Amino acid sequence: MRRPGRGARTTRVTTWVALAVVAVLGTEIGLATTKSPTVRAPSPEQLLRESLTVAGAADAFHYRAVWRANGVSQIVVGDARPASGSESIVVGGDRFTAVFTGQMAYFEGNAAALRDQLGLPVATASANDDKWISLQPSDGPYGSVEEGVTTSAALAQVVIAPLATSHPRRTHGVVVSRITGRIPHGRVVTGSARLDLVSRSKLPTTYVAHGSNGGKPWSSTIAFSHWGASVGIKGPTAGALPFSSLVPVA
Residue-wise pLDDT tens digits, 96-155: 999 999 989 999 999 999 999 999 999 999 999 999 999 999 999 999 999 899 999 999
Using only C-alpha atoms, what is the Rg of the chain? 20
Least confident of 161-165, 240-244, 246-250: 246-250
Type of residue found at 127: A
DSSP conformation letters of the chain: -----SSTT-TTT--S------PPPS--EE------TT-PPPPHHHHHHHHHHHHHH-S-EEEEEEEEETTEEEEEEEEEETTEEEEEEEETTEEEEEEE-SS-EEEEE-HHHHHHTT---HHHHHHTTT-EEEE-TTSTTHHHHHHHSSHHHHHTT---EEEEE---EEETTEEEEEEEEEPP--SSEEEEEEEEEETTT--EEEEEEEEEETTEEEEEEEEEE-TT--------SS-PEEGGGTSPP-
31 confidence band (pLDDT: 50, 70, 90): very low
Domain ranges of the chain: 41-244
Number of neighbours of residue 150 by Cβ within 10 angstroms: 21
Type of residue found at 143: G
CATH of domain 41-244: 2.50.20.20
Picking from 63, 49, 91, 12, the residue whose alpha carbon sits closest to that of residue 222 is 63
CA distance 109 to 128: 9
Q: Using DSSP bridges, classify how beta strands 241-242 and 132-135 pair: parallel, antiparallel or unpaired.
A: parallel
Give the contacts of 113 (CB within 8 A, at least 6 positions apart): 94, 95, 96
4-29 average pLDDT score: 32
Picking from 194, 192, 190, the residue whose alpha carbon sits closest to that of residue 178 is 194
Type of residue found at 3: R
User: What percent of the chain has a predicted confidence (pLDDT) above 90?
Assistant: 66
Instruction: Give residue-wise pLDDT tens across range 178-222.
Output: 999 999 766 667 899 999 999 999 999 999 999 998 888 999 999
Mean of per-residue pLDDT scores for the chain: 84
Number of neighbours of residue 60 by Cβ within 10 angstroms: 19
Is a pLDDT exceeding 50 seen at residue 171?
A: yes
